[in-house]
Amino acid sequence: MVLDKSKKQRYEIIHYYDKNLLIASKHNKVFVKDGSQTKVIELPEPNLNNVLGKSRVLRRLLRLDKCNVYPTADGLVIIRQGIGYHYSYTNHALTKTLELRNCRNMLHQSIARTPEGYLYFGEYGANPKRGAVPIYRSIDEGQSWQVIHEFEPGQIRHVHACCYDPFEEKVWVCTGDFGEENLIVAADKDFKEIEVIGNGTQLYRTCNFFFTESEVHWLMDSQLETCYHLKLDRKTRKVEKLQQLPGPVWYFKQTPAGYFTGTTQEIGPGVKDQFAHLLYSPDLKEWRTVMNFEHDGLPKGYFKNGIIGFSEGNVSDQDFYLFFEAIKGFDGQSVHVNASELAMLV
C-alpha cells in the first residue's frame, strides 16, 4: 500500500486536526484553518534565517522547520527557536511568554493538559553539560509559565514528554537518554508527590504513554538496544516486556479504530531494517505493520532521522494527518488519512 500522493499538503507539521480546525506550520509561519478561512501567524525570524529558510534542505539542516503549537481555550501556545509565545484569538496579539534555558523546541505530543486546563511541558535539548532541566506549568492557558519542578544537574539529559493520566489524575513524565537518565515519573499536579518508576535503563526510555484503566503502556525509544512494547500494571507496579519492535518509537495516535505509531529510521542496533514503519494495534496486544517508508538518503546526523508524525486532535475522530521528516517522497509534507481505512490494510 502506498499513500495517495495527490492528497499531500505542503505543511511541514500538522499540529492539530479535527473536523472544525486545522493547525499547521511551515518554517516560521503558523496556519490556523477554521472552516473556509485560514489565518497566517508569522513568527519573528532573523533576516538571515528568513533567507536560508526558503530552502527545505537548509530548514532541515538548521532545524528551522521545528515548531510546537498547542491549542488552548482562547488561543495558541507556540514554541519556536527557544521562545514561547501566546497567540490570542480575541485580539490577534502574539505575546512572548517564555525564554527556554537550553533547548529550542520540544518533541511533538509533549504538552500535557489537565481537565482544569493546567498545561505542562519539559525542556528537550542536547544539554551537553547536563545542567538542571525544568518542567513548566501554566494555569492561565499558556499566558504565563512557572517552573513547577526541576531535575537536578546530572540527573537527566532532557524531558521527552509530559502526559496527563485521567485514571490516576497524575502527570507522567518521561526522560532520557543515556546511562541512568531514562526515568518515568508520575506526579500529582503540583509535583509535591513524585513516584519514580524504573531503573534508568533503556527499557524506560520512551516518548509517550497509552493509558488504560488497569495499565500504562509505552514503546521504547532507543537506537542503542532492541525496542519493545512495555506494560505496567497499575496495582502491582510490575512492568512486563511485550512485543519486540522494528525500531525506536517517538509518536503515536489513538483513535476509535485502535492505536497507530511509527518507528523512526535512525542509526544503531535498535534499528532493525531500512524502513520507518507505520504500525497498528487494535487493542495494545499486538502491533502489525500497515506500511513501510524509506529514508530519503541525506546524512541522518545533519539532515534528520526518518520520522512519521501524527496530528493531535479529538480521540473520537477517525480522520487525522500523518506528517513526515526525511522520508522518501514525503519529506516536509503531510497526508490526510482515515484510521478505519488504514486498519483494514493490516
CA end-to-end span of the chain, whole Å? 10
In angstroms, rounded to a whole number, what is the distance separating the alpha carbons of residues 174 and 162?
7
In angstroms, rounded to a whole number, what is the distance separating the alpha carbons of residues 120 and 161?
9
φ/ψ of residue 246, rounded to 5: -80, 0
Per-residue pLDDT of the chain (346 residues; tens, 9 = 90+): 457 666 778 899 999 999 899 999 999 999 999 988 999 999 999 999 999 999 999 999 999 999 999 999 899 999 999 999 999 999 999 999 999 998 999 999 999 999 999 999 999 999 999 999 999 999 999 999 999 999 999 999 999 999 999 999 999 999 999 999 999 999 999 999 999 998 899 999 999 999 999 999 999 999 999 999 999 999 999 999 999 999 999 999 999 999 999 999 999 999 999 999 999 999 999 999 999 999 999 999 999 999 999 999 988 889 999 999 999 999 999 999 999 999 999 8
Other CB atoms closer than 10 Å to residue 45's CB: what's the count?
17
Domain ranges of the chain: 10-343
Indicate the fold that domain 10-343 takes in CATH: Methylamine Dehydrogenase; Chain H (2.130.10)
User: For residue 310, which of 255, 266, 244, 229 has the smallest C-alpha distance?
Assistant: 255
The string of DSSP codes covering 207-233 is S--EE-SSEEEEEB--SSS-EEEEEEE
State pTM to two decimals.
Answer: 0.95
